[in-house]
Amino acid sequence: MEIVQVCPRYYPYMGGVEKHVREISSKLVEKGFRIKIFATDPYIKSKYTEENIDGILVKKFKSYAFQDTIYFSYPLLRALKKTRADIVHAHGYRALPMLEAALAKDTNKAKFIVTTHLGFSKMGKWLYKIYNPIFGKLILTKAEKIIIVSPVELEELPILKSFKEKLAIIPIGIKIPQIDMKQKLIKKNKLTLIYVGRIEKRKGIGLLVELMKKLDPGKFQLIIVGSGPYRNKLIQKIRENKLDNLSYKGKISDKELQKLLFNSELFISLSEYESHSVALTEAMSYGVVPIVTDVGGNKHIIDSSSGFLVRYPVNVDEIAKTLNLLSNQREIIRLKALKARKTVAEKYGIHKIVEQISTIYENAVINR
């Protein structure tokens, strides 16, 4: 069975959608599926490029990009119309490649599957009031199956409720690392907090700086990992406040991130919205206890036994108070770390997720 995965961007650009597509694709190949990746790239000069990544053919098509969110590519649309794949699986409702895949369906005759990946959009909600009833309805009508990554997406996109018979909730899967939890949980003098994600204002990066100003550098350190438009502002704030207990690492390799997660006790994110945070579940898989806002899908991932949900809008003083208590109650961290890792292993292991996706593919082809 041949599957074309369609996503806005692809490796080495690695947002949450792109990482998900790469992970499931490599596992699907192991199960015997023939996979191709169709993505866009606003920086290439030719109509498209081809390369082999993880043993998979990846075609990137020249596109026009708006705010690094919306990608329109006419070469991609033409390629989708010509494909003879059994299934076209498009990812990212709020990026135009999914719409292009829907428009190509009547020509290529492939079964059309979508995974919405709603998350946060830089586009104003007013624009989606136009997009949803016209283009969104077209996408969802043409889809054989609609995969949402969290129940919260039903609230975020009410039009989904009109397509309940097509819906499947399949969260984003992650690899569960093999780590020595006894070694990890050895008590250290300082508690290490880590944030991994986009460096932008709506992710609460400024709040993290304010938080570290209130914490004793001898007891706490924060490591921030990622890139984004708030990067220069973050560096400026660190310098202005002379925060020796806050380290900005920027974009790092997977191996470096794995090492940082293993050596961190607490994952912190004060974001204004999350649909399904891969950074959160990956941190939990390393036994890193989450402290996250009670927004979007976060409350579907953790509870009081595996982490801390912080009410949004955030009260930085309250978080500082909680952290100071935790520095003297390490047993709480140990118990939550074990529970966090167990929760993720049971619910979000990549093999379990790929089994569910492959079943959807097989059923779609049977009904072809």
Tell me which of 3.40.50.11890, 3.40.50.720, 3.30.530.20, 3.40.50.2000 is the CATH number of domain 2-173+349-366: 3.40.50.2000
Compute the average pLDDT of residues 154-175: 94
> Three-state DSSP class for 3?
strand
Compute the average pLDDT of residues 247-267: 96
Beta strand extents in the chain (DSSP E only) = 2-7, 34-41, 48-53, 56-62, 64-66, 70-72, 87-91, 111-115, 145-148, 167-169, 191-196, 220-225, 246-250, 266-269, 289-293, 308-310
* Helices and strands in the chain, H and E counts: 15, 16
Q: Where are the domains of the chain?
A: 2-173+349-366, 181-348
> So what's the pLDDT on residue 198?
87
Q: Is residue 128's pLDDT more than 90?
A: no
The pTM assigned to this predicted structure is 0.90
pLDDT per residue as tens digits for the range 97-122: 999 999 999 999 999 999 999 865 55
Read off the tokens for 278: 């891969």
Q: Which of 14, 33, 34 is nearest to 22 (CA)?
A: 14
Domain 2-173+349-366 matches domain 181-348 at the CATH topology level: yes
> So what's the pLDDT on residue 120?
57
Which residues is 89 bridged to in the sheet? 5, 113
Cα–Cα dist 47/264, whole Å? 44
181-348: which CATH architecture?
3-Layer(aba) Sandwich (3.40)
